[in-house]
Structure 1
């Protein structure tokens, strides 16, 4: 993405996931398998898993979508219910935040 490129149409979802201690590696492997199918959805722009460096057993998932209606369609689909079912045994809690990307800037290191 070019510097200052307007990304106002992008709908971003951020999940905070608290994972049962000791289950982190299994969760990561399962998330990767599930995430591989999510990025194949025609409305998905990308999907990332990050592990907190400040809190034990806390992960963040960021997922970008072409727009909110297409995300909501996926969110209520059988495929998404199946994904949640696979991840549920690892979770002890969490939350979801949604947002619209206003601007995005690519750093100099990304161009290399």
Structure 2
């Protein structure tokens, strides 16, 4: 990923006992995000400190592309399906300033 990408991070605490169902629902709807022409990629990570906390990170070519996606029908539908699992969430956006690949990247 080149410097200057627009990154979105959602920290989401899900309702206890719903991890497997949440992960399956997230997986089943990823095309709503990764299918958008401005999307570079998306990741789902689970906290090692709190098993009910997840981080959803997505990278975009630019903020304009992300904002166009944000209100799109596919995203709104996917977001509503995930909302059923959510106990709380925080949302942040940022601009990638620099990216340096590590030694393991080439393997």
Q: Where on the TM-score scale, by shorter chain, does this alignment land: which range?
A: over 0.9
**SS at 2:24 equivalent:** helix
TM-score of the two chains, using structure 2 as the length reference? 0.95
Q: Does 1:87 align with 2:82?
A: yes
**C-alpha separation between the residues in 2 aligned to 1:12 and 1:44?**
10
1:20 aligned residue: 15
**TM-fit CA distance, 1:36:** 3.0
Confirm or deny that 1:38 pairs with 2:33.
yes
Q: CA deviation at 1:53?
A: 0.2
Aligned-partner Cα distance in 2 for 1:87–1:11: 22
Runs of at least 5 residues in structure 1 that lack an aligned partner in the other structure: none
Q: 1: CA distance between counterparts of 2:47 and 2:77? A: 25
Cα distance, 1:76 vs structure 2: 1.1
Runs of 4+ aligned structure 1 residues displaced above 3 Å come to: none
User: What SS does the aligned partner of 1:46 have?
Assistant: strand
In 1, distance between residues paired with 2:67 and 2:78?
Answer: 15
Q: What value does the CA root-mean-square deviation take over the aligned residues?
A: 1.1
Q: Specify the SS of the correspondent of 2:84.
A: helix
Report the Cα distance in structure 2 between the residues aligned to 1:28 and 1:98, rounded to whole angstroms. Answer: 22
TM-score by length of 1: 0.91
How many residues are treated as equivalent by the alignment? 107
Cα distance, 1:106 vs structure 2:
0.8
